[in-house]
A and B are shown apart, each in its own frame.
Chain A
Amino acid sequence: MKMMKKPFSMQVDLEQFIPATDKDKEYMVQMRPSSTFFRDGLKRLLKNKVATAAFIIIVIITLSSIIIPFFWPYSYDQQLGVVPRKPVDPSFNNLAPFEYGETEQKRIAEGESVFPHIFGTDSAGRDYFIRIVYGTRISLAVGFFASIIVLIIGLTIGSIAGYFGGKIDLVIMRIVDIIYSLPDMLMVILLASVLKLVLDLEGTILEKIGSNIISLFIVFALLYWVSMSRLIRGQILSLREQEYVLSSQATGAKGSWIIKKHLLPNCISVIIISTALQIPNAIFTESYLSFLGLGVNAPMPSLGSLASDALNGITTYTYRLIIPAVVISLIVLSLNLFGDGLRDAFDPKLNG
């Protein structure tokens, strides 16, 4: 640095104030197209190898649980040893993997090809592989729909409490506090054990789904919305202080409009993330209840009820327990990892 003549006066270097040349301007132009919040998040998500792998596993499991039952030659409740007008053939019960029943062996001897029982059959002679596939389908469906129910209720109540505030908020939040401090699993067991007796579904469309699953959904709707609504309320409380909400109010927009147009889209990432993390939770609860005998109605299988049934023959047929155990752990693990990945990618507050 050269010596300054007057150290305390502003020494302006005029060279810094000449107009920029075209070359300089070109340097400043951004060559990259602007990215949206969603695209940014997606990019971050795809960079996360664990989350991507988890997502692929979820997709594979879901698709196969939907598609396989269409072409599989056996159905989940078909007892292979039971043929109309013939005595029950017990050789079909408890087949080991890739074994065949007596009539099937005869057919093979005659040169026919018989579709193999990949996981063998259960004690009632039902193909175990298709039962696993069906059980996966039920568990995934219950998890998914239960989370949607929780989402809708939590979203509605949370946004009302957050937006209107005051007395409405106070009352709702007291109710939330109480439900939140209830021991949820005990209440779930209590409700599930009674609801299936109380519900009268005969003749309705819901009859096919079964009283147990319906009561499961009701239980979820009653108890699990609280944490979701707490989350949404917190988000909305901070968002509604923003200027654009004020300007919307000033131009005469109604409350429902502001919630729908301004507030919810701005907390969408939080909503998606917590819904994604809710699904494994619901699958957990369903399998737990099925294990206690409060889940799906027999003969419909779920992964929990399959594991519970397998416990009786654990000494001889250990694989029948291990298969649903592995599937359920895989589903829950990948959903959790994917949810974590989503949170890392889409929650800008955690990006720092």
Chain B
Amino acid sequence: MNTKTLKYIIKRLLLALLTIWVVITVTFFVMHAVPGGPFLGEKAISAEAQAALEAKYGLNKPLFEQYLTYLRDVVFKFDFGPSIKQRGRMVIDILSDGFRTSAKLGIMAVAGSTVLGVILGALAALRRNKLIDKIIMVVTTAFVSMPSFIMGSLLLAVFAVSLGWFPANGSTSSGLVLPVITLALYPMAYITRLTRSSMLDVLGQDYIRTAKAKGVPARKVIFKHALKNSLIPVITYLGPELAYIVTGSLVVEQIFAVPGIGRAFVSSITNRDYTMIMGTTIVLAILIVVMNLVSDICYKIADPRINLE
């Protein structure tokens, strides 16, 4: 690793920290713009009760002081305060309850979409302009144009309701099949197209011709020379893919009733559970920012020729 790469990594790290700080700040001030503040529900309560609540959550202090307290709690204790709709529970506990399921869902979707996408993309590139390439391209174009909630609803209607192959409820592990497929289809289609175009690019390079000319077997040319190099652009997609899966899981968990973070988040939006909205936004945002950082840095290290400025 040379100094230029190191400098790039430091720059990206600072930008990521700055982004996380902006997210926390924006979330805090946006939520405090809600009439009554985030800690009070919309129900009318007596003046004393309100005063007691305000004192409890420090709402009587100046806004900036409240902000500093919130920032400190989030950064040093990862504490997002109590949920205002689920009495007696902390936001972070609700989140960690859902995290296991959501993480399982997300990891399966990422793994499945990447593996299938790379295989299909490579296949399409190697059989360029043949029937199989055309079929793959048409199908992936259709998948890219379909919002995740539509895809999820259709899969639910066909495979769970009409055919009854899978349970419609996502709380069991066989119920996770349809949500994983729903989440994986879009990234899979995207990765297929990405792999196809970068593979076509690589196959036209001189070193592939050299390898072929010196008699390297076709299989070795494809796997060792072509595929390995055409995977590099796929790395950059991992960050956006995670962002897609996080936002997609909000609706997908809702459709299939998967007990994960996404469903908790959506129900907190409908219930106006503001502390929960704040906490979930910040946690998911940090996750996405960190993943973007990691995938960009991996990209830079994997291919030093690339200038990411």
Contacts and interface: CB of A to CB of B under 8 A. Distances in A.
Interface string B10-31: 0000011011001100110011
Interface stretch (A69-77, A164-172, A177-185): A177-185
A185 B250 CA distance: 11
A344 to B, nearest CB: 14
A178 B161 contact: no
B187 to A, nearest CB: 15
Interface string B267-294: 0011010000100010011001100100
A250 B156 CA distance: 66
A181 B247 contact: no
A333 B153 contact: no
Given A178-B15, A198-B35, A314-B161, A329 B30 contact: no
Interface residues of A, number: 40
Given A288-B149, A291-B251, A307-B150, A181 B289 contact: yes
A189 B247 CA distance: 10
B289 A178 contact: no
A332 B18 contact: no
Contact of A198 (B15, B34, B255, B284): B34
A333 B15 contact: no
A332 B141 CA distance: 11
Given A307-B153, A325-B150, A193 B269 contact: yes
B270 A293 contact: yes
Interface in A27-45: none
Contact of B154 (A197, A321, A336): A321
Contacts of A189: 250, 269, 281
Contacts of A311: 153, 156, 255
B298 interface: no
B30 A191 contact: yes
A181 B16 contact: yes
Contacts of B31: 190, 194
Contact of B15 (A181, A304, A314, A332): A181
A212 interface: no
B146 interface: yes
B304 interface: no
Nearest to B288: A183
A144 interface: no
A287 B147 contact: yes
B154 A325 contact: yes
A292 B269 CA distance: 8
B266 interface: yes
Contacts of A177: 15
B157 interface: yes
B111 interface: no
Contact of A333 (B30, B141, B243): B141
A315 B156 CA distance: 10
A334 B183 CA distance: 23
A185 B247 contact: yes
Contacts of B250: 189, 292
A246 interface: no
B281 A190 contact: yes
A70 B225 CA distance: 62
A34 to B, nearest CB: 35
B19 A315 contact: no
Interface string B117-161: 000000000000000000000000110111101100110110001
Interface string B27-50: 100110111000000000000000
A185 B243 CA distance: 8
Residue of B16, B22, B31, B154 with most chain A CB atoms under a 10 A cut-off: B154
B274 to A, nearest CB: 8
Nearest to B33: A198
Contacts of A277: none
Given A178-B18, A186-B281, A288 B292 contact: no
B149 to A, nearest CB: 5
A284 B34 CA distance: 27
Contact of B34 (A197, A280, A292, A293): A197
B162 interface: yes
A328 interface: yes
A16 B243 CA distance: 68
Nearest to B285: A183
Given A291-B251, A315-B161, A190 B277 contact: yes
B147 A321 contact: no
Nearest to A193: B269
20 contacts: A181-B292, A183-B23, A190-B26, A190-B31, A194-B34, A197-B35, A198-B35, A287-B149, A292-B269, A307-B149, A310-B153, A311-B255, A318-B161, A321-B153, A322-B154, A325-B146, A325-B154, A329-B147, A336-B141, A336-B144
The 4 closest A-B pairs by CB, nearest first: A333-B145, A185-B247, A183-B288, A325-B150
Given A181-B289, A185-B247, 4 more contacts: A181-B15, A186-B284, A288-B149, A314-B161
